Amino acid sequence: MKKLASLVFAACALNAPVYAHQQGDIFARFGVASVMPNESSDNVLDTGELAIDSNAQLGLTLTYMYTDNFGIELLAATPFTHEVSTAGLGKVAEVTHLPPSLLAQYYFGQANDALRPYVGAGINYTVFFDEEGYGALDGTEVSLDDSFGYALQAGVDYKINESWGVNAALWYINIETDVETAVGTIDTEINPTVAMASLVYQF
């Protein structure tokens, strides 16, 4: 009888649902995040618009599940550094920034689904620092205003076991700034797409 009870218990344990995300859960995602600007700007000295290259860094998100389907996420990362150039002048600046974002999320499916797609929307505040001029702007002051805008997101989590999972996510972040230089103010839209592949750890 005891052996039978043990077998039943083991079978139940094997068939027990693995809860991906449910109310009250707190989990972190950490991996590689790539910021890919979709930039546009004023024409700079008739040499073309500013071009901003992509950069990848360590990305980190922290999420709290308010219900089984609604979560709140904070996006952070190590600082991103971008080269800025124009077609006629080449590299004219290098800029570092941090784009923390706070989003409300909706997770599709049920709490015991291993695969949980989600979407999110929220706000972003981008801080620029360590601006430096190069080439035509070498030795001159370059300054970028901080930016406040919206952020949109889509992603998917896959739960591996009780503590670990994997994630893929995309953000579109509204970043607009005035670039102050020796040749004047350049109105610039960066508006990057951010792609991140990460591991998920549930506390």
Instruction: Please name which of 170, 168, 173 lies closest in space to residue 200, comparing C-alpha atoms.
Output: 168
Nearest-angstrom CA–CA distance, 197 and 20: 18
Q: Average pLDDT, stretch 65-83?
A: 97
pLDDT exceeds 90 at position 19: no
More confident residue, 97 or 6: 97
pLDDT mean over 89-94: 94
**Helix or strand run (H / E) with residue 128:** strand 115-133
pLDDT digits (tens, 9 = 90+) for 99-117: 999 999 999 999 999 999 9
Model confidence pLDDT, tens digit, residues 121-155: 999 999 999 999 999 889 889 999 999 999 999 99
Q: Is residue 14 scored above 50 in pLDDT?
A: no
User: What span, in angstroms and rounded, lies between the C-alpha atoms of 82 and 84?
Assistant: 6
Q: What is the reported pLDDT for 182?
A: 85
pLDDT of residue 52: 96
Q: Which residue has the tokens 């893929």?
A: 168
| Closest CA relative to residue 21, chosen from 135, 107, 138 | 107
Average pLDDT rounded to a whole number, residues 41-60: 94
Q: Which CATH architecture has domain 2-202?
A: Beta Barrel (2.40)
Exposed, middle or buried: residue 144 (CB in 10 Å: 0-12, 13-18, 19+)?
A: buried
Structure tokens at 16: 């027990």
Residues 41-65, mean pLDDT to the nearest whole number: 95
* Distance of alpha carbon 202 from alpha carbon 76, whole angstroms: 17
Distance (Å, whole) CA 172 – CA 97: 16
pLDDT for residue 15 is more than 70: no
Q: Among all chains, which residue has been given the structure tokens 């002048």?
A: 89
Structure tokens that stand for 128 in this block: 């620029």
* Three-state secondary-structure class, residue 50: coil
Pairing label, strands 147-159, 176-181: unpaired
DSSP label at residue 42: -
Amino acid at 109: G
pLDDT value at residue 108: 97
End-to-end CA distance of the chain: 38
Q: What is the pTM of this model?
A: 0.86
CA 92 to chain centre: 26
Sign of CA dihedral 86, 87, 91, 92: negative
